[in-house]
Amino acid sequence: MTLREFLHRSLWLAPLGLSLVFVLGVLGWVRANETEEQEQQRQTMISDALSAEAQLRDRINEEQGQVRQLAAGLARETPGVAVLAAHPEVNAGLRRLWLSVTWLDARNRVLAEVPAESEANRYEDGLSLHLTALVGQEGTLVVRYAPALLLKRGVPWWLARKYDVQLVDSADQVIASSTESP
């Protein structure tokens, strides 16, 4: 068999070889595109997580500032439920995030609490956290809030819709989740 005959008979292999090269090229492109898309999703998730963390941290810092401001205003007042309940900052905090506000003396005895204990248990099944501030030299103001409520009101709707945002403790136990309804 001559070279010319061999080339003539194996001419059909050229389209097959080109097809194989084309298929391998498409598979390589799809794989590279998939890897790039996964990396982009990972970067987006990291950015969203950092954004949510910053927003929640800012919200807690803002609430702590409100508690300090309230404590400074109460330092000139005589302790009592009526004084605490009538304070505009207490009512605003209770509408915003706070579950209860408790005024303690230097020995941690309750001087006043708003709302009453029975009303404050709206989230009795869930965990509550506290913010504190000194009231003058002889007292402490303790504000109780629910982390689930913080997530509900502090995480933007578009993040809560896209992800299950969770607060976890140092033992990786879930404290609150955006999918739970308080």
Burial (Cβ within 10 Å: 0-12, 13-18, ≥19) of residue 33: exposed
Collapse the DSSP code of 159 into the 3-class scheme (helix H, G, I; strand E, B; otherwise coil) and give the result.
helix
pLDDT tens digits along 148-171: 888 888 888 888 888 888 888 889
pLDDT tens digits along 78-107: 899 999 999 999 999 999 999 999 999 999
Neighbours of 48 (CB within 10 A): 16
**Measured between alpha carbons, how far is 14 from 126 in angstroms, rounded to an integer?**
70
Averaged pLDDT of the chain: 87
Burial (Cβ within 10 Å: 0-12, 13-18, ≥19) of residue 144: middle
- Is the model's pTM score more than 0.85? no
Question: At a CB cut-off of 8 Å and minimum separation 6, what does 91 contact?
Answer: 85
CA 155 to the chain's CA centroid: 5
Collapse the DSSP code of 114 into the 3-class scheme (helix H, G, I; strand E, B; otherwise coil) and give the result.
strand
**Measured between alpha carbons, how far is 153 from 86 in angstroms, rounded to an integer?**
25
More confident: 178 or 121 = 178
Whole-angstrom Cα Rg for the chain: 31
